[in-house]
Amino acid sequence: MLIEYWVSATRPREVNGFGLDTAQADLRLTEIETLFTLLPEPPDIAARWRRLAVGHAVQGKQAHDARIVAVMLAHGVTHLLTLNPTDFARYPEITVVTPQGIISQPNA
């Protein structure tokens, strides 16, 4: 999903991006790669994505979200941390978590 980050990172701020140039985005990707385990896209990602897209009536930009969910499901990942929970509400196969939801939880 580094590609998804790149899209947001290099998109201008005035259209809901971070406004980074390519060198800045590349540096941030290097930092991300050292902090997180990255999961490869499975060979059957296109078929997985298509089943989700058809099954959940995905249209337009929502196809990017379906791709994320397809990779998650391929690897058995059940929870997604996102700032845009409504983008993933159509997928009962996953649990959507927001930063605010985590912050507001009482200490266990």
pLDDT attached to residue 104:
83
* Domains of the chain, residue spans: 1-38
pTM over 0.85: no
Are 93 and 56 spatial neighbours (Cβ–Cβ below 8 Å)?
no
Give the tens place of pLDDT for each residue, 48-106. Answer: 999 999 999 999 999 999 999 999 999 999 999 998 999 999 999 999 999 998 888 77
Is 108's pLDDT higher than 70?
no
Distance CA 88, CA 81 (A): 10
| Beta strands in the chain, from DSSP E residues, in sequence order | 79-81, 95-97
Distance CA 27, CA 10 (A): 12
